[in-house]
Chains A and B, each alone.
Chain A
Amino acid sequence: MSSEPDLTAEPEEHQHADDGGPQPEKHCGHGRGGMGEEVTRKEDKRFITGRGNYVDDIKKPGMLHCEIVRSPHAHARIEDIDGSRAMALDGVVAVLTADDLLEHDLATMPTLMDDTQDVLVNDKVKFQSQEVAAVIAEDRYTAKDAAEKVEVEYDVLEPVVDAEEALEDDAPLIRDELDDQEDNHIFDWETGDKEATQEVFDEAAVTVEEQMEYQRLHPAPIETCGAVADWDPGKDKMTVHMTSQAPHAHRTLFSQVSGIPEHKVRIVSPDVGGGFGNKVPIYPGYVVAAAASYVLEQPVKWIEERSENIQTTGFARDYDMTGEIAATEDGVIQGVKVDVLANHGAYNAAAQPSKFPAGFFNIFTGSYDVDAAYGSLTGAFTNTAPGGVAYRCSFRVTEAVYLIERMVKVLADELDVDPAEIRRRNFIPSDAFPYESATGWNYDSGDYEKALDKALEMADYEHYREEQQRRIAEDADKLIGIGISSFTEVVGAGPGKQCDIAGIEMFDSADLRVNPTGNAVLRIGVQTQGQGHETTFAQIVAEELGMDVDDITVEHGDTDTEPYGLGTYGSRSTPVAGAAAAVAARKVRDKAKSIAANELEAAEEDIEWDRESGEFHVAGAPDRSITITEIAAGAYMNSPGNEEPGLEAVNYYDPPEMTYPFGSYIVVVEVDRETGEVDFEKFVAVDDCGNRINPMIIEGQIHGGLAQGIGTAMLEHVTYDDNGNVTGGDFMNYLLPTANEIPNFETGHTVTPSPHHPIGAKGVGESPTVGSPPAIVNAVVDAMSHAGTSHVEMPMTPDTVWEELDEVGLSISPSENVSFEFDDGASEEPADD
């Protein structure tokens, strides 16, 4: 008897759907909303009808408002803070400075990389807009007015915002409060085999090298960060509603920082309007709100403005990378080398597992079978906001994928081999899994060529190659470029022994309770910021117990009621907590079998579970069957003597390995030689995330991630001027893509289940953000590579592209023939306000 279907094998229905490209998938969830069904999102009713409950929606009696006073300087010593003019305003309750926090031992807080960050600046400002003081007032407007009246005297110091300049001998020392810190160097990190790699490079027939910058980005979730802290002196309990992607880990950190016992701290992460990694770290605003509530014994709300979010909370990327490939004359890759300079900002506050100072960047051999690889990376402090969060990616995988997918294109151009063909020559073969990479990763499963073939077919690749040549031959005004990215990710951290955050192992959890009337509540350790957990996780339980998806409620985000978990980021919800949900459901199913035996008056060994019907029956007698609803009643009203009453199970799941989703994206662009503008002609995304739980949610995730990939490649950049002013720190200057910039996406999929995951799933939310930027850049480069272009830096704004067109002699109006008269605006009459 086998109650456990082999989900690691590809189900027939999936194979069928696999052939159809973007067409809707045939359901395989037996009509109850299980695996593979396009169940409508349960959470959408409240979101669409305006009944979502975000942190700023929370109002408590007597609630005060917190506004943070921020430094206009990037590097300055604080001489004096005078809050008297602010206090003189009606409705101002308190002005807090570092001195006030010192009294409660809350002046500093640990970052996720074991650094210490000022909550309010104690001595020296280290980046623009850093938190200097806080005003607490009866309403938000008063708090804002009062914040402008706090007088801070600064001794302004020379700032350094560029990582390379920060490491020069004469650079100003940013972290002078640290005893052993004599320069702005944070750490060096190495991976792979340096000597073996060098040998390969020394003997290689062909080597290529390219330097590229992955610019500083911001996750820019639509909801900024915020908190409502409420200290209850009657219960000695601190409740904090906050925008958190990891409420349990934040509870532990809160307890450690504040000294309030952990069972007296409750973190609630209600509806959260996008996280993308931005809401993994703890920020000073949370701590200030909590400290103020503790001191004043009233609830205190703190909500960020947009510019505060972009300028001070966790940024992403900011890697200056040099990649090298050694290959045979046929384009078979033998070795990969990378060297990176990482700008970590004023504090080492990257959000990654403790043992991985460069995250999972050493996945940089990508989808390719490479014998030797070596990577080195140096981290530097600068007078910029701290960060290095995994913006919609698994810990620096975005940077690694960008590097290798760009480098493969550079190699293809060097050898004049088609970029699709060169990938084919280097893919890890599908029969080589499980595969250990040169940098030590154990890839679980993959079939890269299949995904590429499908993408090539969907993109009508040959047609566009011909069109490209035709345009070149005709000296057309608009050139065609075709970019490919065949990426592999590593997601779903732990295992706990390898991956921890602040020492806490990265397992995750699920607690499933079936009620007497046959419906169930699943509480999970991860938290959703819009991914659709309330639907997806219910589908896992529906599949495993034969229940209807509507009979399952998923709860998350409240540390008082949910089991401990490490949170949602790095595409880990489905690989880790999803596994926990499946295992908890199977534990319930095991117990249900005993109850079924009791109800059916048969031996337990003779009871079989039928996935198709979702029922238990006596072996050889399918008519003698019982549903989970009937079993639930039995568990509470007619419990067998050999079992405890009730029907519930908990699972804490420590994944044995990570999962390796992959895909092939093909982007066709048209580049205007006159203006440098780039238009998307075709955008194909084929993803393989293993077994699929809800194809509609997956497709939605991919659409959103591709939009963010376009923002990355074409628009977004957090920029600084030499004085350390953030000149790309608001939505006037930090450009997010709108519907205008987004083309039609054609999505497809293949299914290669993860062999070690209970339901064969891998995680998908981040694939499009990881996979699409190199495809887009490769496409723009491809449009100009016949003239000698090897790289174009992101964001590829029209002027950046035009400069490259001009450089390689493709611009229609070359700069040498044009005299530019830049108007400095002196004669204009700008508006006064």
Chain B
Amino acid sequence: MEFEGEFELDGVPPEKAWIVLSDPMAVRDSLKGCQYITPMGEDFNFDEYEAKEDVEMLPEADPDTVADRAFVAGQKYAALMQVGVGSVKPRFETTVTIDDRDDEEFEMLASGGGDASGSSFSMNSGMRIHELDDGDGARIEWWTEADVSGRIAQLGSRVINPVANKIVNNFFGSIEKQMSDVDEETNSGVTDRLRNML
């Protein structure tokens, strides 16, 4: 299955969009059904991991903290997702690897997959942020190619598309709101740190 789309954020510069989309915490809060996204070590255990509470979120968060936790190319992340598709509500233990991050072009590629009771999926995704032609805002282009196997594909084949669309729409709606909240000061601080990391 292939999904793709784009959306525009008026008044949000690409740099700001890049910061929010680089923050696992912002992504977690925007992704319906996502319990956590966290860097994954060798002995990571989905059963034992407890998501941190009281995480500082943008715009209040300390820029250094946000920069420290930003997605890193080559890093593997564990994400726990619980999504209802038709009559099934599997708990997906998902692994995502950031394959590439381009801080100049604002492009990020990720691949991953997950398993839940009798179901599994794999995906290759990417996004790229463009400046709007009038210079006042960002256009975010995204794409994903997913293969779904097992029970969720058997039982939910007729409703996967609407569910996926709903998750995506909610995600970008929420991201947009978070971006509007991020003030200029935070923006520049984190951007500088991120650029320095390269």
| Residues of chain A lying within 8 A (CB to CB) of residue B11 | none
Shortest distance from the beta carbon of B93 to any chain A beta carbon, whole Å: 9
**A830–B89 touching, CB < 8 Å:** no
Given A825-B165, A826-B165, CB of A72 within 8 Å of CB of B159: no
Given A85-B47, A723-B148, A824-B161, CB of A829 within 8 Å of CB of B166: yes
Q: How far is the CA of A828 from the CA of B163 in the complex (A)?
A: 9
B173, CB-defined interface residue at 8 Å: no
Q: Is the interface of B mostly helix, strand, loop or mixed?
A: mixed
| Residues of chain A lying within 8 A (CB to CB) of residue B161 | 824-826
Given A72-B115, A733-B154, A830-B166, CB of A128 within 8 Å of CB of B159: no
A74, CB-defined interface residue at 8 Å: yes
B84, CB-defined interface residue at 8 Å: yes
A721, CB-defined interface residue at 8 Å: yes
Shortest distance from the beta carbon of A26 to any chain B beta carbon, whole Å: 52
Closest to B91 in A: A148
Given A73-B120, A725-B149, CB of A730 within 8 Å of CB of B155: yes
Interface residues of A in 581-622 (CB under 8 A from B): none
Given A128-B149, A723-B147, CB of A72 within 8 Å of CB of B120: yes
Interface string of A302-325 (1 = CB under 8 A from B): 000001000100000000000000
A134, CB-defined interface residue at 8 Å: no
**A830–B148 touching, CB < 8 Å:** no
A169, CB-defined interface residue at 8 Å: no
A830 touches which of B47, B163, B169 (Cβ 8 Å)? B163
Q: How many residue pairs at the A-B interface have CB separations less than 8 Å?
A: 73
Q: How far is the CA of A824 from the CA of B169 in the complex (A)?
A: 14
Interface residues of B in 65-93 (CB under 8 A from A): 84, 86-87, 89
| Residues of chain B lying within 8 A (CB to CB) of residue A637 | none
| Residues of chain B lying within 8 A (CB to CB) of residue A727 | 153-154, 157
Given A85-B47, A830-B166, A832-B84, CB of A726 within 8 Å of CB of B154: yes
Given A721-B157, A831-B84, A833-B89, CB of A73 within 8 Å of CB of B149: yes
Shortest distance from the beta carbon of B147 to any chain A beta carbon, whole Å: 6
**A825–B162 touching, CB < 8 Å:** yes
Shortest distance from the beta carbon of A655 to any chain B beta carbon, whole Å: 43
Closest to B151 in A: A72
Closest to A722 in B: B147
| Residues of chain B lying within 8 A (CB to CB) of residue A833 | 84, 89
Interface string of B46-69 (1 = CB under 8 A from A): 010000000000000000000000
**B162–A725 touching, CB < 8 Å:** no
**B154–A730 touching, CB < 8 Å:** yes
A826 touches which of B47, B157, B162 (Cβ 8 Å)? B162
A70 touches which of B115, B118, B153, B169 (Cβ 8 Å)? B118
B189, CB-defined interface residue at 8 Å: no
Q: How far is the CA of A311 from the CA of B150 in the complex (A)?
A: 11
A818, CB-defined interface residue at 8 Å: no
A222, CB-defined interface residue at 8 Å: no
Q: How far is the CA of A128 from the CA of B157 in the complex (A)?
A: 15
Shortest distance from the beta carbon of A172 to any chain B beta carbon, whole Å: 15
| Residues of chain A lying within 8 A (CB to CB) of residue B125 | none
Interface residues of A in 503-533 (CB under 8 A from B): none
B150 touches which of A725, A732, A828 (Cβ 8 Å)? A725
Q: How far is the CA of A702 from the CA of B151 in the complex (A)?
A: 36
B191, CB-defined interface residue at 8 Å: no
Q: How far is the CA of A832 from the CA of B148 in the complex (A)?
A: 18
Closest to A70 in B: B118
| Residues of chain B lying within 8 A (CB to CB) of residue A724 | 149
A729, CB-defined interface residue at 8 Å: yes
**A128–B84 touching, CB < 8 Å:** no
Interface residues of A in 719-766 (CB under 8 A from B): 721, 723-727, 729-730, 732-733
Q: How far is the CA of A302 from the CA of B122 in the complex (A)?
A: 31
A156, CB-defined interface residue at 8 Å: yes
**A830–B159 touching, CB < 8 Å:** yes
Interface string of A37-78 (1 = CB under 8 A from B): 000000000000000000000000000000000101110000
Interface string of A156-183 (1 = CB under 8 A from B): 1000000000000000000000000000
**A307–B84 touching, CB < 8 Å:** no
Closest to A826 in B: B165
Q: How far is the CA of A128 from the CA of B147 in the complex (A)?
A: 14
B174, CB-defined interface residue at 8 Å: no
Interface residues of A in 223-241 (CB under 8 A from B): none
Interface string of A806-833 (1 = CB under 8 A from B): 0000000000000000001110111111
Q: How far is the CA of A726 from the CA of B150 in the complex (A)?
A: 8
Q: How far is the CA of A176 from the CA of B138 in the complex (A)?
A: 51
Q: How far is the CA of A266 from the CA of B147 in the complex (A)?
A: 46
Shortest distance from the beta carbon of A820 to any chain B beta carbon, whole Å: 17
Closest to B46 in A: A85
| Residues of chain B lying within 8 A (CB to CB) of residue A733 | 154-155
| Residues of chain B lying within 8 A (CB to CB) of residue A729 | 154
**A725–B117 touching, CB < 8 Å:** no
| Residues of chain B lying within 8 A (CB to CB) of residue A828 | 162
Interface string of A117-146 (1 = CB under 8 A from B): 000000000001000000000000000000
Interface residues of B in 142-198 (CB under 8 A from A): 147-151, 153-155, 157, 159, 161-163, 165-166, 169
**A307–B163 touching, CB < 8 Å:** no
Q: How far is the CA of A151 from the CA of B163 in the complex (A)?
A: 26
Q: How far is the CA of A727 from the CA of B159 in the complex (A)?
A: 13
B119, CB-defined interface residue at 8 Å: yes
| Residues of chain A lying within 8 A (CB to CB) of residue B147 | 156, 723
Interface string of A536-554 (1 = CB under 8 A from B): 0000000000000000000
Q: How far is the CA of A211 from the CA of B49 in the complex (A)?
A: 58
Shortest distance from the beta carbon of A831 to any chain B beta carbon, whole Å: 7
Given A72-B149, A128-B149, A148-B117, CB of A824 within 8 Å of CB of B162: yes
Shortest distance from the beta carbon of A51 to any chain B beta carbon, whole Å: 34
Interface residues of B in 103-154 (CB under 8 A from A): 115, 117-120, 122, 147-151, 153-154
| Residues of chain A lying within 8 A (CB to CB) of residue B169 | 826
Interface residues of A in 85-101 (CB under 8 A from B): 85
Q: How far is the CA of A727 from the CA of B157 in the complex (A)?
A: 7
Shortest distance from the beta carbon of A556 to any chain B beta carbon, whole Å: 37
| Residues of chain B lying within 8 A (CB to CB) of residue A73 | 120, 149-150
Q: How far is the CA of A6 from the CA of B181 in the complex (A)?
A: 98
**A723–B153 touching, CB < 8 Å:** yes
Q: How far is the CA of A69 from the CA of B48 in the complex (A)?
A: 23
Shortest distance from the beta carbon of B162 to any chain A beta carbon, whole Å: 3
Given A85-B47, A727-B157, CB of A74 within 8 Å of CB of B165: no
A-B contact pairs, 18 of them (CB 8 A): A72-B118, A72-B119, A74-B149, A85-B47, A128-B149, A148-B118, A156-B149, A307-B151, A311-B154, A721-B153, A723-B147, A723-B149, A724-B149, A732-B155, A733-B155, A826-B166, A829-B166, A831-B84
Binding site for A on B (CB under 8 A): 47, 84, 86-87, 89, 115, 117-120, 122, 147-151, 153-155, 157, 159, 161-163, 165-166, 169
Binding site for B on A (CB under 8 A): 70, 72-74, 85, 128, 148, 151, 154, 156, 307, 311, 721, 723-727, 729-730, 732-733, 824-826, 828-833
Question: Top 9 A-B pairs ranked by shortest CB distance?
Answer: A72-B150, A825-B162, A833-B84, A725-B153, A832-B84, A148-B117, A72-B149, A826-B165, A72-B120
Given contacts A72-B115, A73-B149, A831-B84, list 17 more A-B pairs with CB under 8 A. A72-B119, A72-B150, A128-B150, A151-B115, A156-B122, A307-B154, A723-B149, A725-B153, A725-B157, A729-B154, A730-B154, A733-B155, A828-B162, A830-B163, A832-B89, A833-B84, A833-B89
